[in-house]
Structure 1
Amino acid sequence: MTTVARRALLMAGAGGAAGAAVTLAGCTSDGHRGGPRKPSAAERAAAAEAALRARSASTSRDLLLRYDAVIEGHPALAARLAPLRASVAAQVKALGEGGTAPAAGPTASASPSTPPSAAPSPSRSLTPVRVPADPAAALRDLATAVRATADTHTAALLTAPPEYARLLASVAASGAAHAYLLTEGGRG
Structure 2
Amino acid sequence: MTTVNRRTLLTAGAAGTAVALAGCTSSGDGGPRKPTAAERAAAAEAALRRRSATASRDLMLRYDAVTGTHPALTARLAPLRAAVAAHVKALGEGGTPPAPGPSGSASAAPSPSPSRSLAAIRVPATPAAALRSLATAERATADTHTAALLTAPPEYARLLASVAAAGAAHAYLLTEGDRG
Taking structure 1 as the reference length, the TM-score comes to 0.76
* Aligned-pair CA distance for 1:103: 4.4
The residue aligned with 1:94 is 90
Off by >6 Å, runs of 4+ in structure 1? 23-26
How many pairs align? 164
Using the TM superposition, give the Cα deviation of residue 39 of structure 1 relative to its aligned residue in structure 2, in angstroms: 1.2
8 Å contact from structure 2 (residues 49, 95) kept in 1? yes
Q: Select between 31-40 and 124-133 the one with higher mean Cα deviation.
A: 124-133
- Unpaired runs of at least 5, structure 2: 1-6, 102-107
List alignment gaps of at least 5 residues for structure 1.
Answer: 1-7, 106-118
The aligned amino acid for 1:146 is E
1:64 aligns with 2:60: yes
Q: Is the 8 A contact 1:92 1:102 kept in 2?
A: no
* Distance in 1 of aligned mates of 2:32 and 2:111: 38
- Aligned pair 1:155/2:147, yes or no? yes
Flag the 1:35–1:134 CA change in 2: closer, same or farther, 3 A.
same
- The alpha carbon displacement at 1:121 in A equals 6.7
Pick 1 or 2: higher relative contact order, CA cutoff 8 A, min separation 6.
2
Rate the CA distance shift 1:30–1:102 in 2: closer, same or farther, 3 A: closer
In 2: Cα distance, 1:169 partner to 1:102 partner: 23
> What is the CA RMSD across the aligned residues, in angstroms?
3.0
Q: 1:37-94: CA deviations, max 9, x gaps?
A: 1111111111111110011000000000000000000000000000000000000000
> In the alignment, is the contact (CA less than 8 A) between 1:154 and 1:168 conserved in 2?
yes
Q: What's the counterpart of residue 11 of structure 1? A: 10
